[in-house]
Amino acid sequence: MLAFAVAGALLSAVAWSQAGRQPVDWANVSLESIGGGPLPTGDYAGKVVLLVNTASLCGFTGQYKGLEALWRRYKDKGLVVLGVPSNDFGGQEPGSKEEIKRFCEASFDVTFPLADKQIVTGANAHPLYRWAAAQTGTIGTPSWNFHKILIGRDGRVIDWFTAVSGTGSKLERAIEAALAAKG
């Protein structure tokens, strides 16, 4: 297992070098909110963040409901669910930011923070996702919509969960452990 982690880290380092880009510090990244205005990750210092790339036309789109439930259950304890719409996989997020926002609010009553649509994979990925890839290696990089990256209070990636893992008990246990940890 360690060999895979080391290999993944080396591959990530090579990819960064080849792309001519360096990973950024989590606290210095900013996204644009889907409603307009900045969404700086520095505002989440000391909180646990569940970073999720989302899509409105995906077979996993129903996970918005579970993400909203997690947000409502744990936000007062320090959890931030941060949705990042992306059209990277199967063209399943073709809408404008206004359409995406309207869909999320009307269909799933989403109240957790949503960023504007971003690229989450490859050389043109948003700096936040490049940072996460540097933390996890290639195995933690989204391979489909609703990939979840759990970031601890200390600003380090704790774990990641594929789309198929949903928002069930394994993810919830990881969130509870992260919230209980001192950062």
Note the pLDDT tens digit of each residue in 5-43.
333 333 333 333 333 344 457 778 889 999 999 999 889
Query: Which of the residues are catalytic?
Result: 58
Return the amino acid letter for 112: F
Instruction: For residue range 108-150, list pLDDT tens digits in order.
Output: 999 999 999 999 999 999 999 999 998 888 777 899 999 999 9
125's CB contacts (< 8 A; 6+ apart) are 118, 119, 133
pTM, full prediction = 0.86
Hey, what domains does the chain have and what are their CATH numbers? Answer: 2-180 (3.40.30.10)
Distance CA 147, CA 145 (A): 6
